[in-house]
Structure 1
C-alpha cells in the first residue's frame, strides 16, 4: 500500500493513547456522591467516549435529579468535576502511555502518514504534555469547538479536514462504542480496541495488539 492510498490515521485519546478512564470515574464518583448519587465502574462504562455535559446528564438521570438544576448550575457541576479530574492528571507520566502506542505512532510517521487526535476531552493538551507527546500529532481537534459529541462524526470529520485527508481514505482508532460509531459515520475505516465493538472494521483486544502492518493489511482488504 502506497502513502497515497492512506491519507491519515486519527486516534482517540483516553483508552488508546493512555488510560485516564479510572481518573474520570473517581472524579465523577466524587461529584455524584456530593449530589447523593451512587455510581460504580459498571455505570462508568456508559460515560466512555461522550462529552462532559452528556456524562453529567446520565449521572443526574441515574439519581433522578436531571430536573433539579438549571443549565448554568449544570455547567458549574461539570467544571467542578473537571477540577477533581485535573488533580488526578498530575499523576500522569510518560510511563502511562499504553503498550504498543509509541511504536505504532513511530511506524505510521515513518511512512509519512499524518496523524491526528480526536478526543472529546478539553484536557487533551494537558494529558499529552504529561505524557511527553505534545509534539507528536500533526493536528489535535479542539474539543471546545466541537458542537456535537460522539457518536456524531463531527470530531473525526474535523480531524480529517484539518489534516487534508479524505475520510474514506483514513483510519480512526477508538475503544468506545460511541467512538467507533463516530468513525463509521464519518466514512473512515474503524479500528476498535476492546470487546463488543461490533461495528469496527478491525478489532483487537488491547493496544499491545495494534501492529501497523496488520492494520494496513485489514484496511487494504476493505478497499
Structure 2
C-alpha cells in the first residue's frame, strides 16, 4: 500500500506553464531573443538553472546563470501577482484526503524554493506537506532521479512504498529512474509530454475514486 505521495508542483498543483511561458517570453524579449513555445516545452519539468545554463550558452548572454535565474523569478512573480489563480481542479481535495489517510506528502519541484513557498502559501497548502524539495538546489535536474531519491530518503520510504504524480516527460523519467510508480497527469497546458512513459495516466483529479486509485496502486 502507498505510504508516501510525491507531488510535482507546476502543472500538477498550479496550472503555471502558461504563466511561465508568458514571463519567460517577456524576459527573453528584453534579453534580445525570442523564446518559442517549442523551446519552452522542452524545458517543462526541468529546473530554471538547467534552462538558463542552456540559453546562456546558446545565445551568449552576458549574465551569470544565477542572475538569469533571479531575473526569471522576478518576471514570473510579476505575472503571478497580476493573475487570479486557483489550484488545479480537484488537487486540493486530493491532498486533503491523502493527509486525512495519514499519507506522507512531499512536494518535489524543479522550481526554486521561493516559488514553492509562494505557491503553497497562496493556496494555503503548507501544512499538508511533510517536506518541500527544490530541484534548483541539486547539481542534476529532472530527468535525473536525484530529487525523488532525496524524497525517499527524507520520508524513509522504499520505492515500492511511494508514488509520484507528474505531468512532464522529464519528471516521469526521473520518477521511473528512481524506481517509483508514476502517475502521469494529462494537463492540456503541458503539451507534447510523453505521458505513455508513466505507469498510469490521470485525466482529472475530480474522479470520485482518485484517492483509492493512488493508495492501491
TM-score (norm 1): 0.84
1:79 corresponds to which residue?
70
1:201 and 2:184 matched = no
User: Is the Cα contact below 8 Å between 2:49 and 2:136 reproduced in 1?
Assistant: no
Q: What is the TM-score when the length of structure 2 is the normalising length?
A: 0.86
Structure with larger Rg: 1
Please give the alpha-carbon distance, in whole angstroms, between the structure 1 residues aligned to 2:204 and 2:101: 23
Q: How big is each residue's C-alpha offset from its partner over 1:167-214, in whole Å with a ceiling of 9 and x where there is no partner? A: 221000000000001111111110001163111111023443481122
Return 5+ residue gaps in structure 1 as ranges: none
Secondary structure of the corresponding residue to residue 79 of structure 2: helix
Query: Do residues 108 (structure 1) and 108 (structure 2) align?
Result: no
What is the distance in 1 between the residues matched to 2:124 and 2:159?
28
SS of 1:96's partner is: coil
Select which of 18, 22, 27 maps to 2:14.
Answer: 18
Distance 1:36 1:207 in 2: 40
In structure 1, the residue matched to 2:29 is 33
Task: After TM superposition, list the pairs within 5 Å mapping 1:62-101 onto structure 2.
Answer: 64-65=58-59, 68-69=60-61, 73-91=64-82, 96-101=86-91
- Spell out the pairing of 1:1-223 with structure 2 (5 A cutoff): 5-60=1-56, 64-65=58-59, 68-69=60-61, 73-91=64-82, 96-122=86-112, 123-194=115-186, 196-209=194-207, 211-217=210-216, 219=217
Q: Which moved more, 1:50-59 or 1:76-85?
A: 50-59
Q: CA deviation at 1:158?
A: 0.9
**How many residues get paired?**
208
Q: 1:53, CA displacement in angstroms?
A: 2.1
For structure 2, the 5+ residue unaligned runs are 187-192
Q: CA deviation at 1:56?
A: 2.1
